[in-house]
Structure 1
Amino acid sequence: MPSIPLIAPNPPRFSALADELAAIEQRGIFSNGGPAVRAFEAAAVAQLFGGKGDCLAVGNATLGLILAIRHAAGPRLRPGALALVPAFTFAATAQAVEWAGLTPLIHDVDPQTWASDPQAEERLLARHGARVAAIVPYAAFGRSLDLDRYAWLARRHGVAVVIDAAASLGSCDAEGVNFGAGAPFAVVYSMHATKTFATGEGGLIHSGNTDLIAALRRMSNFGFGADRAAELPGLNAKLSEVGGVLAMAKLAELDAVCSHRAALADAYHAALDRLGPGFAAQAPMAAGRQAFQFWSLLLPAHLAAHRPALIAALAQRGVGAGHYFSPHLGMQPWFRDHALIEPVPVSDDLAARVLSLPITDGMSLADVDTVIEQLVAAIAAVTPGADGRPKGDKQTMPPCATFETVLIGGGPAGTAMLTAASKQNRLGVLAEGLAVVEQGPALGRGELGQYAIRSDSTAETFLSAVKDNAHPELAALIDHPVGMTMAGHIGALGAPLVEAGDLLAVTGDRLRDVALAHGASVLTGHAALRAQRESDGRWRTTVRDGAGQARDLLSRHIVLATGGYQCPQAVHAAPLAGGTLGDIAGKRLVLSDAFLRLGGMDALRQRLAARSNPHSAPRIAIVGGSTSALAAAVLLLKADPALSLGAGGITLLHRRPLRPFYPSREAALAEGFTDFTEADICPVSGFVYRLAGFRLEARELVLRMLAVGGRAPEPRLALLQLDQHDPAAARAALDAADVVIGATGYRPRALPLFDAAGAPIMLACDGPQPGPMVDRHCRLRDAAGQIVPGAFGIGLAAGFVPWGALGGEPSFRGNANGLWLWQNDVGQMIVDAVLPATSAAPRQAVA
């Protein structure tokens, strides 16, 4: 029987280093950057990095990461600051980020290289902006990264970069220069006993920036300067002299060790076809040599569940195997509670399928053949099916499943319904017969985090969903980084929607976990195609997964939480100034939804720069009196760098009077605001313009423009109420505008519905005269105004208007959208309807 361990540490032998160790004793210098460590650092610069830059040896690579990240992120270090970290890496990467004072923002990796996904990095940099203090990529399993690209990202975004190259000592380019040579930032390597560059324990930091290494050297010695006084944040991260001797000895043999291991890896690649279809490996480097600590492959999907049995079967045959990095960071409890985690489908797949096989200094090419032979035998032993698949595994899900309720849409509105149930401790009961269908990879965020504006809900409103929640998993989010970040906006004019999206995403993860624990089916990555009413009154909802496989879900109830969208045709067709908005504005027209998203301001700047006279003061018209219209105005006025707007550079064209919200009649009168009647006061809360009034940032702008309480109007903004001006004035404002932003509202994104005979059910929102999609009980309405049995709706543009005990001013006309409503009264109303046997939920205080 063979004996081939997965890892066989091979550091230099102390017995061969008697003279070097005796020299340490004679010098009496055992640490603090003695001659052995300094000699190794100099030799590493010369032999590994082509004489470029400098190196600092440290006690271990994790200490090196902490020092490098803390130093690099220093200028951006503040509460809530983030560091981008790939999910498919060792825990030390994210732990170092936390010890440096940042919150890990864990994201997905590239399916070929297994390193950070460049698109994910750039998407998160665009979404979070200055909150991202650092990027900490991992050179996966010693595979090189594009350092020029990271240098470009650092310059473009003003963000720090630190490379975790723990396994990369010995990875080199075609000229034999080690990965990282001359990098303008810190590249951190490990010299742990299990690595290719095996000592006992230790790390090495390299950079082409010698001043950076000098600063890190001081930080590694408590931050001491010349007078042994702390001048920088520091700790004790020094490598001992014994460690320096071991490292120097390993350096002498590194090239031979890495070349031998690379040959073993080539033999594994060549043998991959012998394992059969479905096996894959990390994409090899285009040029140069990769240092291998072990060799990892991906099992076919049908073998993933049998990985533990395969590892055990290999062990019985004398071959060591493992699964690096499974679980990935996003699966680990500490990071679930202390980090932000993006959907990571690639990392999920890698973690489920990765199998690590031996590459050691003592192996031969024949040993690779032995490992492959034993793996083939182990596969046969654990998968007795004739086709290599485990018996009983061919049908992964039934063609049709039955539920009490199918919730279609798991974004902010869909999870708001789940939140409403959780706040009354009824989520477990609801989940027993629930299926949630969400097209995206996770619940909660939806598209909310894609907007570059602040919310019109307070931070307290967002936190009320989890504060003192009946489910401890949700209540604990108050102390999670997303909860603490949101708490930092208490008392402010709303919260950035990006950060609100983070909170909703983590809340969605917790709601999913609770629902799954109580028997729910949560189908992320599934698109709902249609729903048809059966002859027995149930609904048959057809869904399709990412692979294109369709299945049906039968249920007594369906709930549409499919969100809203800004219809371009409706914006273009909006009547205005004797014509339509589209005809008048032409190519100058921009939809407010696009402008308010991340990148929308950059696109507008490009439009303005393309004008025939780009240096003149721009003129911008906003059409609409909605929250979106006011948010667009605020975004323009707060642009950084500022737009060169002159007086009246922005014109807001609106039909209805702009009304500010007030918490009471007395508060309004105290500021001299009297433009309201009894019909404008909510009889439940006493709020003035509770539903029609603008809040937070939009409210402050409206108060300024109305000169309430002696406020000075914003000179760069002009208001034009359409029913109080000649149409020619509106036409003139539009004609003069360089850009016209259409903010004429949203429509519900409804699902195609069919009756029992297969005939389409046209909903009220899609009828000849579009109306609210739902009635006062959140039930779907058809074009004739009739109730669609067993079907409910919630969310943006659904058309719900609070009534009775729910409050709201009698004068209100229009749609009432708001997360608080969805997470409380509206969500509870639907939960009550689909759980008729439960007692009514206690009524919450109105907001």
Structure 2
Amino acid sequence: MNAQFHKVCNPLLPEAAAIFEYLKTLNQARWYTNRGTLQASLEERLSMLFGADHNVVVATASGSAALEASILATAGTATPDKPYAFLPSYTFAATALAAERCGYTPYFLDVDPETWSLDPDMIARHPKIINAGVIIVVAPYGRMPDMVALETLYKKTGVAVVVDAAAAFEQVVAAPGCISATIPVCLSFHATKTFSTGEGGAVLWSDQIGRESIVQATNFGFLNSRECRSAGFNGKMSEYSAAVGLAMLDMLEERRQEYFEVSHTYRQAFASSGANSSGQFFASPEISSAYALILARDSIVAAELCVELQVSQFGWRRWYESGLHNMAHFLDCPRDAMAVTTDLGDRLIGLPMAHDLSEDKIAQIVDVVAATCETEVAFVAEQAGGR
């Protein structure tokens, strides 16, 4: 079908000339890292974008750094009586690795079949909650959890809660009320995300003392001195990454519109395909614009779809594989039964997505899906005229 293989994810960062406009002052100031002026500007502009009347952002070197710093700032390192980090198995490996770097043993929980995230009520009733030092809730594919329910969970259990919202940049922009004074929300600004600094991340937290704790954790445990006063590491964002982020903000509205149009075109293509493909299609605004997902009828259809996409020169991905509990590094970690995680891992397939994915390519991808799945696709209804 295609002369060239089309990647499942094909990001494009700002042109070098746009980034240079921010970089050209660095050699004059000779301030390249350690919370320089570009990082401060990025944090200020992001806070305004999120609708805050004061700074709520601490930029970090990566999404993983944001998550690790948030664990240290809320829960500290693991203790013998609270060795576990409760987290979903249905997530990216960075979630569990951040917990491990803070001394915790990941305890894998299954997710809700509708939200694909952890159920706060189930966590509160869990028999091992007394041994959990931190709860890491994931916003899968950018789908934000119920923050009020998580604040209630924290009050009920006394266990620190952190949200790994790596891909939820757009969802936070759309619903800035999800930025909490109690629970830090961690974003990734990796190149594959809809807003990117190339590599980077941020912690969103409306509590000033909490944000200072993030600054301290990402600067070797230093805060307003050269004395290490807490657990920490080097998790600061460099001025170079901040420059990319500032240039990205300058073009953000155009980029968001392009992603919206691609998601809209996908939905139109599925609606008009005339094929009967039993499955469910997910795209923005329900999830991050970085993803286009098809939930196949069953694991057999999903496996066949992956083969047909590959043969047709289209990339695909099981973004969270079959769950972390099946990965070699985590095989010995304690876990609950994983019925939903197994089902999602088998059936949820990532389709190609990019801000400049053409209508013709989308039509070809949908044709492959429709021809493989054979019965009607039920796709998530588009919000008329919205992002």
Q: TM-score, normalised by structure 2?
A: 0.88
**Residues 395-410 of structure 1 aligned to structure 2 (within 5 Å):** none
Question: Which residue of the partner structure matches residue 299 of structure 1?
Answer: 296
Question: Which residue of the partner structure matches residue 154 of structure 1?
Answer: 154
SS of residue matched to 2:118? coil
* C-alpha distance 302-64 of structure 1, shift in aligned 2 (>3 A): closer
Counterpart Cα distance in 2 of 1:70 and 1:369: 47
Deviation at 1:136, TM superposition (A): 0.7
Question: Which residue of the partner structure matches residue 365 of structure 2?
Answer: 371
Asked whether the equivalents of residues 136 and 162 of structure 1 are also in contact (C-alpha less than 8 Å), the reply is yes
Deviation at 1:329, TM superposition (A): 1.1
Q: 74, 81, 84: which is aligned to 1:82?
A: 84
Asked whether the equivalents of residues 147 and 180 of structure 2 are also in contact (C-alpha less than 8 Å), the reply is no
Asked whether the equivalents of residues 9 and 198 of structure 1 are also in contact (C-alpha less than 8 Å), the reply is no
Asked whether the equivalents of residues 124 and 156 of structure 2 are also in contact (C-alpha less than 8 Å), the reply is no
Question: Which residue of the partner structure matches residue 343 of structure 1?
Answer: 337
Asked whether the equivalents of residues 84 and 131 of structure 2 are also in contact (C-alpha less than 8 Å), the reply is yes
Deviations 1:334-371 (A, max 9, x none): 1122x211101011001011110122111244543221
Question: Which residue of the partner structure matches residue 39 of structure 2?
Answer: 37
Is 1:224–2:226 an aligned residue pair? no
**Residues 231-246 of structure 1 aligned to structure 2 (within 5 Å):** 231-246=229-244
**Residues 669-688 of structure 1 aligned to structure 2 (within 5 Å):** none
Q: 65, 71, 77: which is aligned to 2:67?
A: 65
Question: Which residue of the partner structure matches residue 213 of structure 1?
Answer: 211
Q: 198, 201, 215: which is aligned to 2:199?
A: 201
Deviation at 1:54, TM superposition (A): 1.8
User: Structure 2 counterpart of 1:223, which letter?
Assistant: G
Counterpart Cα distance in 2 of 1:198 and 1:121: 33
Q: 242, 248, 251: which is aligned to 2:249?
A: 251
SS of residue matched to 2:234? coil
Question: Which residue of the partner structure matches residue 110 of structure 2?
Answer: 108
Counterpart Cα distance in 1 of 2:38 and 2:237: 10
Which has the higher Rg, Structure 1 or Structure 2? 1
* C-alpha distance 219-314 of structure 1, shift in aligned 2 (>3 A): same
How many pairs were matched up?
Answer: 372
* C-alpha distance 49-324 of structure 1, shift in aligned 2 (>3 A): same
SS of residue matched to 2:355? coil
* C-alpha distance 88-263 of structure 1, shift in aligned 2 (>3 A): farther
User: Structure 2 counterpart of 1:363, which letter?
Assistant: L
Deviations 1:582-617 (A, max 9, x none): xxxxxxxxxxxxxxxxxxxxxxxxxxxxxxxxxxxx
Deviations 1:155-213 (A, max 9, x none): 1111101100000112246xx34474344221100011111112311011110111101
Deviation at 1:94, TM superposition (A): 0.8
Asked whether the equivalents of residues 296 and 354 of structure 1 are also in contact (C-alpha less than 8 Å), the reply is yes
Deviations 1:685-709 (A, max 9, x none): xxxxxxxxxxxxxxxxxxxxxxxxx
Asked whether the equivalents of residues 222 and 230 of structure 1 are also in contact (C-alpha less than 8 Å), the reply is yes
Deviation at 1:221, TM superposition (A): 0.8
Question: Which residue of the partner structure matches residue 323 of structure 1?
Answer: 318
Counterpart Cα distance in 1 of 2:86 and 2:299: 32
**Residues 458-537 of structure 1 aligned to structure 2 (within 5 Å):** none
Is 1:55–2:53 an aligned residue pair? no
For structure 1, list consecutive stretches of 5 or more residues without a partner in the other structure.
381-386, 389-847
Asked whether the equivalents of residues 169 and 178 of structure 1 are also in contact (C-alpha less than 8 Å), the reply is no
Deviation at 1:75, TM superposition (A): 8.3
Deviation at 1:311, TM superposition (A): 2.8
Asked whether the equivalents of residues 280 and 296 of structure 2 are also in contact (C-alpha less than 8 Å), the reply is yes
Asked whether the equivalents of residues 296 and 348 of structure 2 are also in contact (C-alpha less than 8 Å), the reply is yes
Counterpart Cα distance in 2 of 1:156 and 1:252: 42
* C-alpha distance 16-277 of structure 1, shift in aligned 2 (>3 A): closer
Counterpart Cα distance in 1 of 2:155 and 2:336: 25
Deviation at 1:379, TM superposition (A): 5.5
Asked whether the equivalents of residues 59 and 202 of structure 2 are also in contact (C-alpha less than 8 Å), the reply is yes
Asked whether the equivalents of residues 262 and 290 of structure 1 are also in contact (C-alpha less than 8 Å), the reply is no
User: Structure 1 counterpart of 2:117, which letter?
Assistant: A
Question: Which residue of the partner structure matches residue 26 of structure 2?
Answer: 24
Counterpart Cα distance in 2 of 1:16 and 1:76: 44
Counterpart Cα distance in 1 of 2:277 and 2:309: 20
Q: CA RMSD in A?
A: 2.6
Asked whether the equivalents of residues 142 and 291 of structure 1 are also in contact (C-alpha less than 8 Å), the reply is yes
Deviations 1:533-564 (A, max 9, x none): xxxxxxxxxxxxxxxxxxxxxxxxxxxxxxxx
Counterpart Cα distance in 2 of 1:302 and 1:226: 54
For structure 2, list consecutive stretches of 5 or more residues without a partner in the other structure.
377-387
* C-alpha distance 92-157 of structure 1, shift in aligned 2 (>3 A): same
User: Structure 2 counterpart of 1:374, which letter?
Assistant: V
Structure 1 range deviating more: 2-11 or 163-172: 2-11
Counterpart Cα distance in 2 of 1:272 and 1:342: 37
Asked whether the equivalents of residues 166 and 186 of structure 2 are also in contact (C-alpha less than 8 Å), the reply is yes
Counterpart Cα distance in 2 of 1:351 and 1:93: 17
Counterpart Cα distance in 1 of 2:72 and 2:92: 19
Structure 1 range deviating more: 157-166 or 179-188: 179-188
Question: Which residue of the partner structure matches residue 95 of structure 1?
Answer: 97
Higher relative CO (CA 8 A, sep ≥ 6), structure 1 or 2? Answer: 2
